[in-house]
Amino acid sequence: MSAEILAQGVLPWVLASVMLAMGLSLRIEDFVRVWRHPRRVLVGLSLQILALPLLAWAVVLVLPLPVMAAAGLLLVALVPSGATSNMFSYLVQGDLALSVSLTALAGLLAPFLLPLVMGWNFELLGLAAQGFSLPYWQTVGQLLLVTVLPALIGMLLRLLLPDAALEPLLPLVKRLTGLAMLLVVVGLFVVYQHRLPALLSLETLAVLVLCVLAMSLGYQIARGMRFPTDSVRAITVEVGVQNAGIAMMVAFVILQLPQLGLVPLLYGILMNAPVFAWVVFCIWRDRQPAAVRVGSD
């Protein structure tokens, strides 16, 4: 399969199927329960929408990244958390309703915020002067079609279909869409491996530093706000796990700039290392005696 077909033909459809599966897993009750504690939602969204791009800029200013790599890192910071964040929240015994709500709300805002803020970033990086621009309404329309619309269709199907018919299918749908997204990422990695930065490179360092800083900030802020442990864990995951698929779609499909999509592709692969470390730590912590855990979660 050629790079063009994989990136521009397959990626949007797979991304839409992932968002459809996320919509199928949402209940109205999830949002009602979460909004009883609005501070947790506002903190989680603020960290994703405001703090994460600022962290990315800090990394860009400290590390001498190539301009296109810096733009790719900023693009990653502007996309919402990925559907896999819900899976990781489940693995760390986090607040799954909060995780799903943050993913959904950030996903609803992303089509409108991402092209606007990314346009400003292009200007700050000097790329706008070189003719690089992100057409606002075209980008909004394409992102709505691939992310928000499938999620809303999934929610509608959830309302219309009886639980007896849907519940047995939902785990299978989640596994299949997750596997499809994984195969697309692996396929893009194989196709573009000759253009990807080396494992020991500034780009790799920048990706790992951003993910670790984002998770650390999410953990410290949520813990400092004295949120319950399950909410702290969910927010930690949500801030670090980004929907690299959306970033790649913007780069490969909308802008048709593969060089812009290489850092998001790298992030989609490497972010799993610190997140899995967090999962292992949480599982280990939960197995400790209660007296050891007091005051440390």
Domain boundaries, the chain: 3-293
| 242 bridge partner residues | 81
pLDDT tens digits along 137-160: 887 888 888 877 888 888 888 888
Fold adopted by 3-293: Na+/H+ antiporter like fold (1.20.1530)
Q: Mean pLDDT lowest for which of 1-5, 154-158, 219-223, 249-253?
A: 1-5
Count of alpha carbons within 13 angstroms of residue 23, beta-carbon side: 24
Inter-residue contact 276 to 127 (CB < 8 Å): no
Task: Note the maximum CA span of the chain.
Answer: 60
pLDDT tens digits along 233-265: 999 999 998 888 888 888 888 888 888 888 998
Q: How far, rounded to the nearest angstrom, does the alpha carbon of residue 268 sit from its chain's CA centroid?
A: 9
Q: How many CB atoms lie within 10 A of CB 239?
A: 28
